[in-house]
Amino acid sequence: MVPSSSNPHDWAYPPYDPDLSPAPGYNYHESKYAQLYIAGLSACNKANLNASSSSDRSGSVGDCDADDEATPLFNIKPYLEALEDLDTSNDTSKGKAFGAPSPTTFNAIPDVEAKIRKAKNVIQRQNAKVGMLTVTLGANVEAVVNLEGDLSLRGVYWKAPKDDETIPTTSQRKIALVKDLINSIKTNRNCKEKVDWLFLTRWADEATYYKWLDIEPLAWKILSFMVDVHEKGWTEPIFDRDLRESVQQTMFFTFQDRFQALCKLLRYEKNKCEDLLKGDRWNSIIGNPWSADGRSSQYIIQKLLHERRIKAKPRTEIHGDDIVNFEDFKFRDDDAPEVPLPRPTLLPQQPRVPLPRATLLPKQPRRSEE
C-alpha cells in the first residue's frame, strides 16, 4: 500500500498500515514508508528550488500543497518504483538503509579523565574571578530583569568543542541515532536493577506499560537537546552549584562521546530510563552521563552488600564493618558435659511494716464576715 496523497506532510507519523506496520516488533525507521518519507522530502526541496527560480509560476512559491493537484511539485512514481527493489528484511542491511554508519562503530573515548581534569581547571579559574555573580557562571551569562520585575539568567554557560564532525546534520543520520537510543532504552538484558515484578511489568519483552508513543518521542527530544548543546552551547539554567559544575565538566567532550556514554547508561540502567520518561533528572543524566553512571554503580554495590548481610544465615548482627555470628558462641561438641547452674537461694520474706496513718486535724470553725 502507498499513501494516497503525494505530499509527504500529509502522511501520518508513523503511518499505520496493517501490512507494513504490525504491532509487535514494528520499527518505523526500517519500513518502506520511512524511506519514502525521506525521498519525498528531498524531492520536495528540489521542487521548491526549481519553483523559486522559475518566473512564470504564480501563487505561493515553493509550497508543498497537496490541494494543488493540477500542478504537482514532484512525481512520486520514481520513488515508488525504486522502493520495490529495497529489501528491509535483510539482517545485513538492517539499520543501514540510508548508508549511515551505526553509532556503535564510534571509536573509544580518548582519555576521559584528562578531559574532565581540563574542565575542572577551567571551572576553578572561573570561580576565582572577582566581580558579579554571573561572571563565575560563564562568559556570556547575564542577569535580566524585565519590566514586571522578574529576574532570570540568560546566556551560554559553556560551549562544546568547535568543528565537531560527529554532530548529525542529515535526517538519515538522526534517524540512525534515534534508532540506537530506542534500542538502548528497550534493552532488558544484563541490567543493574533487580529482576522483580516491577521490572518485568515495565521492561519485559511482552510488557505493555510503555508504548512506542512514549519512547520514540523521548528519543527525538534527547537527540535534539544534545545537538543544541554541542552546536549552541549549554543554555539551560542550573541553580545548584554542584550539578552545574558537574555538567560543565563535560565541556571538552564531543557529541560522539556524550552519545556513547548516554546509550551505555540507558542500556544497563532502566531507572535512568524511567527518570527521563517521567521528566526527572534531565540535566544530570544527559548533562553528565559519566557521573550518573558512577553514582548508580556505587548505589547498586552498597545495596547488594546490604541485602547479602541481611540474608546471611545463621542470624547475624552488623557492627560497623564486622559481622557478628551468634552461632559462634554455642557449643559445637555434642559430647561436652553439661555444667549445672547453681540453684537460686531463697531469702526469708520480711514482715510487712504498716505505714503510719495520716493524722486528721480538727475542723476549724468558719469565721463570720463582719
Residues of the chain with pLDDT > 70, as a percent, come to: 53
The DSSP 8-state label assigned to residue 341 in this structure reads: P
pLDDT digits (tens, 9 = 90+) for 2-40: 444 444 344 333 433 334 333 344 444 444 444 544 555
* Cβ atoms of 263 and 103 closer than 8 Å: yes
In the numeric block, which cell numbers belong to residue 128? 576565582
Q: Checking DSSP bridges between strand 322-325 and strand 151-154, what pairing results, if any?
A: unpaired
Cα dihedral value 198, 199, 200, 203, nearest 10: 130
Confidence band of 173 (pLDDT split at 50, 70, 90): very high
- The whole-number average pLDDT for the span 332-340 is 52
pLDDT of 15: 39
The DSSP line for 8-27 is GGGS-SSPP-TTT--STT--
- Of the listed ranges 115-129, 161-175, 207-221, 250-264, the one predicted with least confidence: 115-129
In the numeric block, which cell numbers belong to residue 21? 506496520
How many angstroms separate the CA atoms of 272 and 259, rounded? 15
CA distances from 95 to 29, 119, 205, 215 (A): 8, 36, 20, 18
pLDDT of 229: 93
* Cβ atoms of 41 and 34 closer than 8 Å: no
Confidence band of 182 (pLDDT split at 50, 70, 90): very high
pLDDT digits (tens, 9 = 90+) for 192-205: 888 888 899 999 98
How many angstroms separate the CA atoms of 330 and 357, rounded? 56
Classify residue 97 as exposed, middle or buried by CB count within 10 Å of its CB (0-12, 13-18, 19+). buried
pLDDT of 102: 37
Instruction: List helix spans (H) across 54-111.
Output: 77-83
pLDDT of 63: 39
Amino acid type, 95: G
How many angstroms separate the CA atoms of 142 and 129, rounded? 15
pLDDT of 300: 55
Helix (H, G, I), strand (E, B) or coil at 317: strand
pLDDT of 175: 93
pLDDT of 361: 79
Confidence band of 148 (pLDDT split at 50, 70, 90): confident
In angstroms, how far apart are the furthest CA atoms of the chain? 130
Domain ranges of the chain: 8-97, 112-308
* Cβ atoms of 68 and 49 closer than 8 Å: no
